[in-house]
Amino acid sequence: MKIYLDLCAIQRPLDTQNQVRIVLESEAVWGPISYCEHGCAEIVCSEALLYEVEQGNLAVRREHAVAVLAKARSMIEVTDGDKERAAEFVRYGIKPLDALHLALGES
C-alpha cells in the first residue's frame, strides 16, 4: 500500500493541540506514518511536496517534513496528465497546489 500525505497533513502534529479536532487529526496522521515505519505501507513523496517544503519559513516545520519525507521509497514526478487532472479539480474550486496533490495522490 502506498500513502501520499500533503504537507498540511504531515505538519498537523506540530500544530497547537488545544482543540479535540486538531488532536484527532494529528493522531490520524501519525497512524499511517507509523504504519510505514513498520514496513506495512510506503510513504510516497512528490516534486510538489518538495516544492512546498522549500517554501516553508519555519525551520522546525521544514525539518519535520523533511524527516517524514525521507522515509519515502518513491518519488512522483509531475506529468502533463497530472497537471491536466489538477486543472479539473481547480475548476471545482480547489486551490491549485491542493489540486495538484489530489492529482498526484491518484497517480
71 and 83 together in one domain: no
25 and 65 together in one domain: yes
Go through 50-65 and write b for each residue having 16 or more CB atoms within 10 A of its CB, e for each that does not.
Answer: eebbeebeeeebbebb
82 and 64 together in one domain: no
pLDDT of 107 reads 84
21 and 45 together in one domain: yes
Task: Judge contact between 78 and 97, C-beta under 8 A.
Answer: no
84 and 53 together in one domain: no
What is the average pLDDT score of the chain? Answer: 94
Task: Judge contact between 12 and 52, C-beta under 8 A.
Answer: no
72 and 82 together in one domain: no
pLDDT of 90 reads 98
Q: What is the pLDDT of residues 66-76, one digit of tens each?
A: 999 999 999 99
List the chain residues with pLDDT less than 70.
Answer: none
